[in-house]
Amino acid sequence: MPGTSHTGNVHGMPLAHLLGHGDAQFASIAGSTPALSRRRLALVGIRELDGPEKEAIKAWGLTCFTMRDIDELGLREVMRRAIAVATSESDRLWVSCDMDWVDPTYAPGVGTPVRGGATYREAQLAMEMLSDTGKLVGLDIVETNPVLDERNRTAELAVQLAMSAFGHRII
Average pLDDT over every residue of 101-127: 96
According to the model, what pLDDT value does residue 5 have? Answer: 62
Question: How many Å apart are CA 13 and CA 30, to the nearest integer?
Answer: 17
Question: How many Å apart are CA 112 and CA 56, to the nearest integer?
Answer: 20
According to the model, what pLDDT value does residue 44 have? Answer: 98
CB 62 within 8 A of CB 41: yes
* Reduced DSSP (H G I as helix, E B as strand, rest coil) percent helix, strand, coil of the chain, to 5: 40, 15, 45
The Cβ of residue 79 has, within 10 Å, a number of other Cβ atoms equal to 24
Hey, what amino acid is at 51?
G
pLDDT at 2 > cutoff 60: no
Per DSSP, helices labelled H in the chain are: 13-18, 24-27, 51-59, 67-73, 75-86, 120-132, 153-165
Residues 74-96 pLDDT 10s: 999 999 999 999 999 999 999 99
Listed residue (41, 92, 88) closest to 63, CA to CA: 41
According to the model, what pLDDT value does residue 42 have? Answer: 98
Alpha-carbon separation of residue 111 from 61, 105, 107, 149 (angstroms): 28, 14, 10, 10
According to the model, what pLDDT value does residue 110 have? Answer: 95
pLDDT band at 4 (very low <50, low <70, confident <90, very high): low
Average pLDDT over every residue of 150-167: 97
Query: Which domains, and CATH codes, for the chain?
Result: 1-36 (no CATH), 37-165 (3.40.800.10)
pLDDT at 1 > cutoff 60: no
